[in-house]
Structures are given as structure tokens and as C-alpha cells.
Amino acid sequence: MSTAATAAIRRPTDAVLRISEEAALAAADVSSAPLDTADVDDEIETVTAEPDDGPMLINMGPQHPSTHGVLRIAMELQGETVLRSKPIIGYLHTGMEKTAEDLTYLQGPTNVTRMDYASPLFTELVFCLAVEDLLGTEIPPRATWIRMLMCELNRMSSHLLFLATNGMDLGAVGMMLYGWREREEILRFFESVTGLRMNHNYIRPGGVAADLPDGWQDDVEHILAVLPDRLVEFDTLMTGQPIWRDRTQGVGVITAEEAIAMSATGPLLRSTGEAWDLRRTMPYLAYDEVDFDVVVGAYGDTFDRYSIRLNEIRESMRIVAQCLDKMPKGPYRAEDRKVTPPPRARIDESMEALIHHFKIFTEGFRVPPGETYVAVESPRGELGCYLVSDGGPKPQRVHIRAPSFVNLQSLPHLMYGGLLADAVAIISSVDPIMGEVDR
């Protein structure tokens, strides 16, 4: 295990351009007056075509691309300066948590995987860990390492999607093409393993749906061989680019104390220098057996949040390489036939196996009464699952602690005193997934 807990995200040779201390303090001095949006629709309708010199209330969204979904933000502007803002959600409300109460525990992953569609494997993982905690089931080592391999690849694909859309939001259209291209390499591997590019239903209570296919090592090695040079190109295209730095450095500043007060997690929190990563601070799966660094920033601005995700791809590649070397042999799911279905070949040979298979997929398995909360580190922060069982085959209550939902409350603080054009960069740097917000 490496003794280094953090990794610097800026190289010593980088020319770091920063706003003055006065400007930084002004950006951090957030007004405590809340934006009253009780009658926001009426107020917006009263704005005339020729407003006076006073503040103006406008809408941003819910169709704007930088919101990555249907997010509406009511803004009060003085000229092009944002005085106050408030995120307004609910346009994509799906009721997935309520739906979960009508699905068996085996059917649960098919539901929760659609919440964060950019990193679906993490929601499947946290749900299954909660179910296994109530069951008291221990999964085989191979299943643990397969889960970690797939999740770290998913973290890479999610961050590549961020780099693509973040670049497009700020005018780097080429980055949209390149980020999408690299993400395709990983999605192609996911399709070979799970049969789907997204919403996999691959991680299930007791293990995973199927073992890794023949030749999976070669596919993963190809991904690890292609990405390093591409990440260097991204550094050239954006990290050291003066226009990119001007658009991101000193924009959307937040301190560690402010981020903690708003329960922010993930790159949003780590950009302030706080090295909080559940993989290191509260290890799960086999993260205490692999060597990796927690990437942190120093200024808490949009540039730091971009840099953290870019470098977290490199750290995930380190973990994936170790998964290749340490992947154990053995079963890929628990041998408990009351929880996991029997092998397909056994169904043709054993009436008992056929009965177990039939009952699992029709009635489900029963989970002892109790409640639990389990959390994992998703690409957006702490992803938690609160699960309550009444002893039946379906959960009594499922609640997901979605990092996108919690991190959204930082937007009014981040955008205060900035320009309207900077709001696009700030929203993109938070990286919200609205399917996870309106779950």
C-alpha cells in the first residue's frame, strides 16, 4: 500500500494563473439572502422587453445543455453578474425509490442502475452491498475483484464523459469528440461482459450475473495501452491552454469548510484540498489491497475539479492494472442456492436446482428484518443506500443518497458574484446527473 494519501494535480512546470486575493475573497463572500422562488414563474413573466438598470430575473434551463439533463436555475442578474440563483428540480421525477418497494431484491438492480446512467455499476453495487449486509452473505473473492474492476472502468468512462461535455460546454468542441472516442473503448468492453453498454444489471446480490468472458484480459490491456497517450493529448488540448485556464481558474471557488457544511463530496470536496475518498477512508471491496492515490486540489475552483477528474482516470488505471494481476480464480457468485440461481447445466440435471431457479425468479428470496446504510465512492461523490427489510422478498424502504442531488445545493454559492457565462462552466464542473437527482 502506498504511503502517499494525496497526489498533486498540478505539475511544477505548469504556469498557474490565479485571480487576485481580493477577487477570491469577493467570490467567497456569498450573500446569505435566499432567492425567493415561490412566485418565480410570475416574476419571470413580468420581465419586459426593455428592462431598466435594476436586477433582472431570468431562467437558465431546463433545456440548457450544460445542465446535463432537465435542470432549471432561476437567476437574478445585475447586468451579466449573478446576484442570486436557485436550482429547481423535479422535471425528470421517476419515482424509482418507490418503485423499488414493488420489486424483489433480485429485480432491484434493474431499477437502481437507471438512476445514474453515466455510472450505473456503482448504483448496482451499493444496492447489492446493502442487501448482502442484511443477508449476512459473503461473496467469493473473485466476485469482489470483478466488481472492483468493472467499477473502476466505469469511473474512467464517467470521467471521460465529463471531459467531453465539459469541453463542449466551454467551446472545446474537439474534446467532445475525443472524450466520446475513448469512452467507446470502455463501453465496448462492458458490452462484451454484460451484454449492454449502459444500465447493465450485472452486479447482483451474491456476486455478479456472469463470469468474465474469454479474452477479457486482452481487452482490458488494450484500454490501458491506449489511454495514457490520449490523456497527454487532453493535457495539451486543455490543461495548459491559456483560454481554458482563463475560463476555469478562479471561477466557482469554494473552501473546504463551505463544502463540508453543504455535505459536498467527490471531486467537488476534494478540489478544496480535503482528501476524503471512501475507497481510502472507509475501504470496501478490496480497495485496502490495492495501491492508489487520492487526488486533491488546492483552490476549490472549476479548474481543480476538471484536473481532479482527469487525474483520477490515471489512478483508476492503476487500480485496473492491479485487478488484472490479482484477479483470483473461483466462483463469481455465492454458492447459496437460496440467494443465487444454480448453474444452467444443473437445471437440466436436478429437480431441486430447477425449483430453486424458479422460486428465485418468481418469488424472490427473503431478507431478514432490519435496516442498513452502505456507501461507496461514485465518480460524483458519496453514493449511499439506506435499505429497510420487513422479512419479505421485497424491501420495505429504499432510499439512495445521491451525490448529484446533494452537490447541487452548492450551485448558488459557487455562482454568486460570477458572470452569466461562468455559470455554464460552474454547473458543468459539478457534473450533475439528473437521473440521479430526480430518482
Question: What pLDDT is recorded for position 348?
Answer: 83
Count the Cβ atoms, other than its own, within 10 Å of residue 239: 21
Bridge partners (DSSP) listed for residue 203: 208
* Amino acid letter, 409: Q
Tens-place pLDDT, residues 233-280: 999 889 989 999 999 999 999 999 999 999 999 999 999 999 999 999
Question: What pLDDT is recorded for position 362?
Answer: 86
Q: DSSP labels for 347-375?
A: HTT-HHHHHHHHHHHHT-----SEEEEEE
Pick the CATH number of 6-14+96-365 from 1.10.645.10, 1.10.150.120, 3.90.1560.10, 3.40.1390.20: 1.10.645.10
Question: What pLDDT is recorded for position 20?
Answer: 35
Cell numbers for 99: 418503485
What 3-state class would DSSP assign to 381? strand
Give the Cα separation of 311 and 118 in Å (integer).
18
Give the Cα separation of 439 and 435 in Å (integer).
6
Any alpha helices (H) in 170-237, and if so which ranges? Answer: 173-194, 216-234
Residue 184 has pLDDT above 90, yes or no: yes
**Cross-sheet strand order for the sheet of 381-389:** 370-378, 381-389, 397-401
438 pLDDT tier (thresholds 50, 70, 90): confident
Residue 400 has pLDDT above 90, yes or no: yes
Whether the ω angle into residue 267 lies within 30 degrees of 0, i.e. cis, is no
CB 97 within 8 A of CB 400: yes
Helix (H) or strand (E) holding 72: strand 72-78
How many helices and strands in the chain, by DSSP H and E?
19, 10
- SS3 string, 160-175, reads HHHHHHHHHHCCCHHH
Give the Cα separation of 99 and 111 in Å (integer).
8
Helix (H) or strand (E) holding 411: helix 411-415
CB 132 within 8 A of CB 161: no
CB 76 within 8 A of CB 56: yes
CB 96 within 8 A of CB 439: yes
**Short-list 290, 267, 61, CA closest to 158:** 267
* Amino acid letter, 332: Y
Tens-place pLDDT, residues 107-127: 999 999 999 889 999 999 999
Would you say the pTM of this structure is higher than 0.95?
Answer: no
Residue 34 has pLDDT above 50, yes or no: no
- Cα 180-241-306 angle, rounded to 5 deg: 55
Report the pLDDT averaged over residues 188-202: 92
DSSP class of residue 235 equals I
Question: What pLDDT is recorded for position 11?
Answer: 35
Question: What pLDDT is recorded for position 68?
Answer: 64
CB 213 within 8 A of CB 119: no
Question: What pLDDT is recorded for position 290?
Answer: 95
Residue 50 has pLDDT above 60, yes or no: no
Report the pLDDT averaged over residues 138-146: 95
What 3-state class would DSSP assign to 134? helix
CA 70, 74, 77, 81 dihedral sign is: negative
CB 341 within 8 A of CB 358: no
Question: What pLDDT is recorded for position 159?
Answer: 95
Q: Of the given ranges (4-8, 276-280, 335-339, 422-426), which has the lowest mean pLDDT?
A: 4-8
Give the Cα separation of 314 and 11 in Å (integer).
15
Residue with cell 453543504: 262
CB 33 within 8 A of CB 55: no
Task: Give CA separation, 8 vs 158, 233, 252, 273, 367, in Å.
Answer: 21, 19, 20, 10, 45
Give the Cα separation of 306 and 290 in Å (integer).
25
CB 317 within 8 A of CB 227: yes
